[in-house]
């Protein structure tokens, strides 16, 4: 009977991506189907990782060495280690990360659903993010935080090879949990921006000692003592604890204190979540004034630009982000035929094509190349290149409002992915744009909406503020500027600020001992000259039209930052 059910499920779901109302970035693939499509199913612990760059596409990948504990499929004996390739990783101070992509961390343990990679050889997680069932405190969780149970009965098949403990854990004695004795405030929050949670009750202990507050930082249930110890505690007394709400998901509150474990009845609802940590090992990435016109240029692929409805949808979503979050993203007036080159410092919006398809079940994803710059003891992480990749396999609806049956709402998906570019992580609150899965009835709550929610606007603006106000000055990095006219999504009818940048020219370049600046309007400007390593060499002010001296500097590459009327521009200069 079970076999027949599985076969039936398989048939239905092959059709599902085309016929279901999936209008977000990820289509849920039922576990039965994932099991059926995987070539190898093992439980294993991730013991070692190695990043490498594949020169064929100039992208960073990670080789993950899994130590298997048991096998359900595809193996007749347990190897000492099993190699799995995942997308993204860190190499030489830069990294690539993708949403809706499995990016496991060392020590991760669970069940891995793997399939043979026809292109590269080796094994990949099936449906990427959906190819791992995480084990935490002896229970298993699906990618969406769904609790699967303590045993592995949900696998619906017996292990071919018995379970072997890699690192036996001391059996923990069962905890008694007292429910309902604690209260907390606020009841709804934005995670990751320093909001403080006040927990009240009794028996917490006069001092924190080994006590902690457990929340849900990664969607997999209550945090363990080690993770909980990393939260920022403001105060701790026997009756009240204050702690900053770290990036994470909606959760009940648990306090482990001197009188044992207490749990709230209510749930703290996290409506927006500032966090790219789930995709990136380093946790904060600044946007900056990359194009020296205030921020970043985004280019539409011809496939999108030549489709007037898709172009209009893209313009509208970018305008919404400019005006509601203040992010300085400017669309380019010309299209591109290039797709997904993360190294080119051009942000693009494009459909994938044959050979570059995303993992099964993915409608779209946000791709990011970040770099780091080190000055003294500070390592500064910044966003260098971004892509919005849409699957070409879906039938898109480009309009506003409710989405017709069987179509995928392009604007909604784009809003979700651009939300990631402001470091909004996923939430487990259905109804919010950043909920990753939208393929059932509650979707009705948001398929008519064409704007971010107010919590998402507040959270997205937070990252924009950080990106406008950072004081780090090296590697030519300058803060992002506020768009002068947020409605002007192409920057064409441009403000003074935009014009100043576009028209400024530093010449001659390569230069001798002196640089001149053409295009300055009357007034005083200030400048900073940086070495190619980002070291500030000299600064000064000069009247309009005056020159900047390079005298005494060795030949080489320099960065000249010009500051006038509150707007800045950066110029690369070669001294002969």
Residues that bind Zn ion (CB under 5 A): 25, 99, 436
DSSP for 95-153, written as a single string? EEEETTS----TT-EEEEEEEE-TTTSSEEETTGGGGEEEEETTEEE-TT--EEESSSG
Q: Which is nearer to Zn ion, 143 or 472 (CB)?
A: 143
Structure tokens at 44: 């294993």
Structure tokens at 452: 């971010």
Strands 505-507 and 514-518: antiparallel
**In whole angstroms, how close is the CB of 436 to Zn ion at the nearest point?**
5
Q: Which is nearer to Zn ion, 32 or 456 (CB)?
A: 456
Using Cβ positions, the residue closest to Zn ion within the complex turns out to be 99
**In whole angstroms, how close is the CB of 421 to Zn ion at the nearest point?**
11
Structure tokens at 9: 């499920």
Q: Which is nearer to Zn ion, 35 or 438 (CB)?
A: 438
Q: Which is nearer to Zn ion, 99 or 567 (CB)?
A: 99
**In whole angstroms, how close is the CB of 389 to Zn ion at the nearest point?**
12
Return the residue matching tokens 């995303």: 358
Q: Which is nearer to Zn ion, 436 or 483 (CB)?
A: 436
Q: Which is nearer to Zn ion, 25 or 432 (CB)?
A: 25
Contact assessment for residue 43 and residue 68, using Cβ atoms and an 8 Å cutoff: yes
CA of residue 469 relative to chain centroid, distance: 21
**In whole angstroms, how close is the CB of 222 to Zn ion at the nearest point?**
23
**In whole angstroms, how close is the CB of 388 to Zn ion at the nearest point?**
11
Q: Which residues of 410-421 are buried (b: 16+ CB within 10 A; e: fewer)?
A: bbbbbbbbbbbb
CA atoms in the 13 A half-sphere facing the CB of 353? 8
Q: Which is nearer to Zn ion, 68 or 436 (CB)?
A: 436
Task: Tell me how far apart the alpha carbons of residues 335 and 358 are, in angstroms, rounded to a whole number.
Answer: 23
Q: Which is nearer to Zn ion, 99 or 130 (CB)?
A: 99
Contact assessment for residue 140 and residue 214, using Cβ atoms and an 8 Å cutoff: no
Q: Which is nearer to Zn ion, 45 or 277 (CB)?
A: 277
Residue 496 — φ and ψ, nearest 5°? -55, -45
Q: Which is nearer to Zn ion, 419 or 491 (CB)?
A: 419
Residue 318 — φ and ψ, nearest 5°? -65, -40
**In whole angstroms, how close is the CB of 186 to Zn ion at the nearest point?**
25
Q: Which is nearer to Zn ion, 363 or 564 (CB)?
A: 363
Structure tokens at 136: 């935490």
**In whole angstroms, how close is the CB of 572 to Zn ion at the nearest point?**
35
Nearest to 20 by CA among 366, 279, 395: 395
Structure tokens at 189: 């929050």
**In whole angstroms, how close is the CB of 414 to Zn ion at the nearest point?**
12
**In whole angstroms, how close is the CB of 555 to Zn ion at the nearest point?**
47
Q: Which is nearer to Zn ion, 217 or 436 (CB)?
A: 436
**In whole angstroms, how close is the CB of 135 to Zn ion at the nearest point?**
23
Cis bond before residue 231 (omega within 30° of 0):
no
Q: Which is nearer to Zn ion, 409 or 571 (CB)?
A: 409
To which H or E segment does residue 3 belong?
helix 2-19
Q: Is 464 helix (H, G, I), strand (E, B) or coil?
A: helix
Task: Tell me how far apart the alpha carbons of residues 283 and 288 are, in angstroms, rounded to a whole number.
Answer: 16
CA dihedral 143, 100, 98, 38 (to 10 degrees): 70
Nearest to 415 by CA among 501, 314, 503, 517: 314
**In whole angstroms, how close is the CB of 24 to Zn ion at the nearest point?**
8
Distance between terminal CA atoms of the chain?
79
Task: Tell me how far apart the alpha carbons of residues 328 and 482 are, in angstroms, rounded to a whole number.
Answer: 6
Q: Is 169 helix (H, G, I), strand (E, B) or coil?
A: coil
**In whole angstroms, how close is the CB of 574 to Zn ion at the nearest point?**
41
Task: Tell me how far apart the alpha carbons of residues 68 and 45 are, in angstroms, rounded to a whole number.
Answer: 7
**In whole angstroms, how close is the CB of 556 to Zn ion at the nearest point?**
42
Contact assessment for residue 93 and residue 372, using Cβ atoms and an 8 Å cutoff: yes
């Amino acid at each position: 009977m079970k076999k027949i059910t599985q076969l039936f499920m398989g048939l239905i779901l092959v059709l599902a991506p085309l016929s279901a109302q999936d209008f977000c970035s990820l289509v849920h693939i039922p576990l039965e189907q994932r099991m059926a499509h995987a070539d190898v199913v093992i439980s294993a612990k991730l013991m070692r990782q190695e990043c490498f760059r594949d020169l064929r596409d100039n992208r960073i990948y990670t080789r993950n060495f899994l130590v298997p504990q048991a096998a359900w499929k595809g193996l007749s004996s347990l190897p000492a280690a099993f190699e799995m390739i995942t997308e993204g990783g860190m190499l030489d101070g830069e990294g690539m990360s993708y949403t809706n992509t499995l990016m496991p961390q060392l020590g991760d343990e669970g069940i891995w659903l793997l399939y043979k990679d026809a292109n590269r050889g080796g094994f990949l997680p099936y449906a990427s993010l959906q190819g791992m069932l995480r084990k935490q405190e002896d229970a298993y969780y699906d990618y969406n935080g769904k609790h699967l149970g303590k045993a592995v009965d949900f696998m619906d098949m017996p292990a071919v090879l018995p379970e072997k403990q890699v690192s036996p854990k001391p059996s923990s004695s069962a905890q008694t949990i007292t429910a309902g004795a604690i209260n907390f405030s606020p009841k709804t929050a934005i995670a990751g921006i320093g909001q403080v949670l006040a927990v009240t009750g009794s028996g917490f202990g006069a001092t924190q000692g080994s006590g902690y507050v457990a929340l849900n930082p990664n969607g997999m249930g209550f945090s363990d003592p080690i993770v909980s110890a990393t939260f920022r505690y403001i105060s701790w007394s026997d009756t009240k604890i204050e702690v900053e709400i770290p990036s994470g998901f909606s959760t009940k509150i648990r306090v482990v204190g001197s009188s044992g474990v207490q749990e709230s009845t209510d749930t703290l609802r996290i409506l927006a979540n500032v966090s790219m940590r789930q995709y990136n090992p380093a946790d904060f990435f600044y946007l900056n004034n990359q194009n020296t016109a205030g921020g970043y240029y985004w280019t539409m692929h011809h496939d999108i630009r030549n489709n007037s409805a898709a172009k209009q949808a893209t313009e509208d979503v970018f305008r919404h982000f400019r005006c509601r979050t203040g992010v300085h993203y400017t669309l380019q007036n010309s299209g591109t035929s290039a797709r997904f080159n993360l190294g080119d410092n051009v942000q693009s919006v494009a459909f994938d094509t044959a050979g570059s398809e995303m993992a099964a079940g993915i409608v779209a994803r946000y791709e990011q190349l970040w770099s780091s710059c080190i000055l003294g003891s500070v390592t500064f992480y910044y966003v260098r290149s971004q892509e919005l990749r849409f699957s070409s396999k879906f039938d898109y609806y480009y309009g506003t409002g409710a989405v017709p049956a069987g179509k995928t709402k392009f604007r909604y998906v784009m809003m979700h992915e651009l939300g990631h570019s402001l470091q909004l992580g996923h939430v487990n609150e259905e109804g919010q744009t950043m909920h990753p899965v939208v393929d059932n009835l509650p979707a009705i709550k948001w398929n008519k909406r064409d704007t971010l929610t107010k919590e998402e606007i507040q959270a997205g603006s937070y990252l924009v503020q950080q990106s406008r106000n950072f004081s780090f000055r090296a590697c030519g990095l300058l803060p992002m500027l506020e768009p002068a006219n947020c409605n002007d999504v192409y920057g064409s009818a441009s403000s003074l600020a935009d014009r100043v940048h576009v028209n400024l020219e530093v010449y001659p370049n390569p230069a001798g001992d002196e640089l001149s600046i053409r295009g300055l309007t009357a007034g005083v400007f200030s400048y900073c000259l940086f070495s190619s390593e980002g070291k500030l060499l000299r600064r000064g002010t000069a009247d309009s039209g005056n020159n900047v001296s390079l005298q005494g500097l060795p030949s080489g590459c320099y960065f000249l930052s010009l500051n006038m009327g509150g707007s800045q521009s950066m110029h690369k200069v070669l001294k002969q």
